[in-house]
Structure 1
């Protein structure tokens, strides 16, 4: 009996350690590169410190509460904060939007997610919009980001080289952390050896600011629609597929609706999104998080850490603000490099759709727009037209070859 209790206690400690470790790793994914991406987007839109703090606080706190609620309600490991993919997309937008206009676009993006859950629109939409084109769009939009990472590395060569080692070499030896986190850790070491990082000044606490959203057609087409597509395909679809592959039965429509409502609430404070995360949920639902019936505790740990991170966003913004802009560009580039490579690989994996994917990629990479339509609309529209033309022309060509064969045989 004594041996049984000892063994049971030891097993419980191991299980708890696995859940704790998986939850911490999941939270790190959102709280490092995800935060850097938000700050980078703030630079793009020239936001004030108060606006940036409001964005960061809302995204992490609402996102954390959403995933905590879903996890405890269904005992299924859901984890996430905001969409890093969608935030990376925001960094590629060249047009200027005010903070209220951004909030309006974010709210409408949440409305689209909510409609996807209420109407089953997601399944129908993906039936007409192949994921290869979405991946080609994402890769094209992120290409300048990867290029800028190299240009920024010329200004901080030691930090860049250390980040390269952290991304490509260290994960092959030590697989505890993902490559982007190793790039961040070694990059910070290289930066501290290369320049003197100024101390963080004192600052007062700033609470999230309620924003009266302004709704514009340009914001809807340039931000809301692409963001909703990216969250649906690169976050929610990945999360649901991962959770299901680990023998859970997720409530699909509830996840869509919850992410939509949370994103609307977040948008009213200027946050870009609050949703179930793909890689975070995959990590918390995997065998590395312990026995299946206990894995939801990993998501609980992750969500609590994400909420706590959001509570200290007012200081985290100051911490990230003292980092040189080239270094933020380098780290953001490494955070998006995996998405870029994955998107590129998926976009051209199907030989039948390579030409449409190529046009989608090029239009997105060169940011072609006009006639009141944004780059994503042009890119996806062109890819869809080429895809339909190819589908239409192949039967005609096949029919001709059959007729020619019959004529030659006669």
Structure 2
């Protein structure tokens, strides 16, 4: 274990434990979860997610890093409000089963080819855009604190390209809060184990929650992670990794968790040259997994600290945590010249966040986008390459 392994592991864990946790808390608030239910959600996805990636890294000597799907949480924040906790648990269990089935059958790549990647990215960009836009009113509410945080976004990465800008936002923003904000009295919290939830299975949940969440996990987490590993000279057991993520997701659904999987950007960081010599990079993922698991175990303490932060600051951190995802999605979607109107329709429908016939805007965006591409013959040149 060296400093490169440790620093890459710490930065990887920060990716999951900052914006991802705040997104879960925002979503839990929107759907009216109690504090014990929120603690259960955070505990299970971080503790099991970190442990799973740590064990896989030890087993295969390959740097697998992750916790849960941040993009799936961003989707849930707009789609989950119309479901009970039991229906969500059932939907998440079906998501896990669907992912595991794709791994067992080995048809993951064929399924993904049925949904053009530019349309998935366009849908994701539409879902995330609303969060990023909220950075502007957050800045207006407190120009001093928000301005200081934004300064960190530009300054900190100049010291090292391996440090994500979000880290600068957090450091400078928290410093500004200590200098210019009166924190309220921090309430006491009690430790609680994850709560078992009896799942309820519905067709509505499968169509509006299970399928979109599975698509997001497969395309924006697993596919990205596996591609990054191969790019950096590793040979991961693709189908087994998909199965493990599916089984993990089905398991945590019993406690209100939405997903457990290998993370895209976290694995990309731990498998890169910044994590040290190739044969030792799995140690960076182990550091990441341990920190993520500890974050989950102490979720009961951490949420009271986050709740003490002002709302505008949490909104700003959420927006910045999704900024790189938005940028990557927009670049992939709108630089694909063979898809034009289908991408635009997908993007606009996803932004609308309007459900119709009980089906979420994310599903409708992919459906309308896919039909548009088929009718107008878009994407044919791209598919033939």
| Contact kept in structure 2, 1:40 and 1:328, CA below 8 Å | no
Alpha-carbon shift at residue 393 of structure 1 (Å): 12
Q: Which residue of 2 aligns with 1:352?
A: 338
Q: Report which stretch shifted further, 100-109 or 86-95.
A: 86-95
Q: Structure 2: 5+ residue runs without aligned partners?
A: none
Alpha-carbon shift at residue 388 of structure 1 (Å): 1.1
- Match for residue 85 of structure 1 among 32, 47, 71: 71
Aligned alpha-carbon RMSD (Å)? 1.9
CA displacement 1:330-388 (0-9 Å, x = unmatched):
11011111111211111111111022101100011112432333212210011111111
- Distance (whole Å) between structure 2 residues aligned to residue 174 and residue 248 of structure 1: 25
| Contact kept in structure 1, 2:340 and 2:378, CA below 8 Å | no
The change in CA–CA distance for 1:62 and 1:239 in structure 2 (over 3 A counts) is: same
Q: Which residue of 1 aligns with 2:375?
A: 389
Pair 1:128 & 2:114 matched: yes
Alpha-carbon shift at residue 392 of structure 1 (Å): 8.0
Q: Which runs of 4+ in 1 moved over 6 A?
A: 392-395
Alpha-carbon shift at residue 97 of structure 1 (Å): 2.2
| Contact kept in structure 2, 1:209 and 1:269, CA below 8 Å | yes
- Distance (whole Å) between structure 1 residues aligned to residue 169 and residue 36 of structure 2: 29
| Contact kept in structure 2, 1:40 and 1:329, CA below 8 Å | no
Q: Which residue of 2 aligns with 1:285?
A: 271
| Contact kept in structure 1, 2:30 and 2:81, CA below 8 Å | no
Q: Which residue of 2 aligns with 1:50?
A: 36
Alpha-carbon shift at residue 42 of structure 1 (Å): 1.4
SS in 1 for 2:192: coil
| Contact kept in structure 2, 1:39 and 1:320, CA below 8 Å | no
| Contact kept in structure 2, 1:40 and 1:332, CA below 8 Å | no
The change in CA–CA distance for 1:303 and 1:111 in structure 2 (over 3 A counts) is: same
| Contact kept in structure 2, 1:142 and 1:340, CA below 8 Å | yes
Q: Which residue of 2 aligns with 1:194?
A: 180
CA displacement 1:206-225 (0-9 Å, x = unmatched):
11111111222332222211
Alignment of 1:50-129 (within 5 A): 50-93=36-79, 95-129=81-115
Q: Which residue of 2 aligns with 1:402?
A: none
- Match for residue 304 of structure 2 among 308, 311, 318: 318
Alpha-carbon shift at residue 82 of structure 1 (Å): 0.7
Q: Report which stretch shifted further, 214-223 or 41-50.
A: 214-223
The change in CA–CA distance for 1:98 and 1:192 in structure 2 (over 3 A counts) is: farther
- Distance (whole Å) between structure 1 residues aligned to residue 268 and residue 161 of structure 2: 16
SS in 2 for 1:177: coil
- Distance (whole Å) between structure 1 residues aligned to residue 94 and residue 228 of structure 2: 27
- Distance (whole Å) between structure 2 residues aligned to residue 372 and residue 243 of structure 1: 39
- Distance (whole Å) between structure 1 residues aligned to residue 344 and residue 301 of structure 2: 43
Q: Which residue of 1 aligns with 2:19?
A: 33
Larger Rg: 1
SS in 1 for 2:38: helix
Q: Which residue of 1 aligns with 2:283?
A: 297
Alpha-carbon shift at residue 300 of structure 1 (Å): 1.1
Alpha-carbon shift at residue 168 of structure 1 (Å): 3.5
- Distance (whole Å) between structure 1 residues aligned to residue 138 and residue 91 of structure 2: 30
The change in CA–CA distance for 1:166 and 1:380 in structure 2 (over 3 A counts) is: same
Alignment of 1:221-260 (within 5 A): 221-260=207-246
